[in-house]
Structure formats: structure tokens, C-alpha cells
Amino acid sequence: MKTTLMHVRANVSNLQLSLTWYEEVLGFRVTDLWPPERPNYAHFELGKGAIFAIMEDENVPSHGRFNFYVSHVDELWNQLKDRVEVVEPLFDTAYGSRKFTIRDPDGNELGFVQE
């Protein structure tokens, strides 16, 4: 069976605190909040690929790793390494790429891989 991944979500304990972190630390831009009257869900504009979202939920962290492909992984590493919790520092992978992995404030793992 062939599939296309269109949407992924990470659970967070506090939507507002997480929105601030994702926007100010990572530079993500929120495009939608739901429900309008009392939001507990947000998704971000990231370019191509699946929509990445966060949702305030009691089941945190989400126990997954979300890998984002970026054009300048070395530059991003230098911007983030002293501002985040590092899981894996920048390294060359066995499959010919470069990447690093960090944790968001709720422990969700976010990998950044050279495009």
C-alpha cells in the first residue's frame, strides 16, 4: 500500500508556552489555531511536506521524533545549540547526510537534517 503523509502532531502540556517556544526559538509561523473560541491546537507554515501541528494534551511527550529537512543545517545548529536541549549534536550520518536533534519544552524530539 502506498501512502502520503500529510499531517503530524506533537502533544504539548501548555499550548501558549509551546507556541512562544516554537515561534521565538525555532522561528516557526503559526497559520491556524482551533477551536477559535478556546484554542488547544495549532499548526505551522513550514514549506513543503506534511503539516506539523501541536496540541495541548495530557499525553506528553508524543514519544516520536519529527525530522525537518532544512537547507542550511550547520547555520541552524549554530543558531540553536546554546538555546535548546540537545539530544544529538550536529554530526555526519552513516547514510551521507548531516543532522542534529533537540527536544522541545515537553520532551518531543525534533531532528533537523540537511536537505
Domain borders along the chain are: 7-114
36/39 Cα distance (integer angstroms): 6
Q: How confident is the model over 37-58, as pLDDT tens digits? A: 999 999 999 788 899 999 999 9
Instruction: Tell me the average pLDDT of the chain.
Output: 95
Residue 26: per-residue pLDDT: 97
Residues in CB range of 96: below 8 A, 6 or more apart? none
Beginning with the edge strand found earlier in the chain, give each strand of the sheet holding 51-56 in spatial order.
7-12, 51-56, 41-45, 29-34
User: Could you tell me which CATH class the domain 7-114 is placed in?
Assistant: alpha beta
pTM exceeding 0.95? no
DSSP conformational letter for 83: T
Q: How confident is the model over 67-102, as pLDDT tens digits? A: 999 999 999 999 999 999 999 999 999 999 999 999
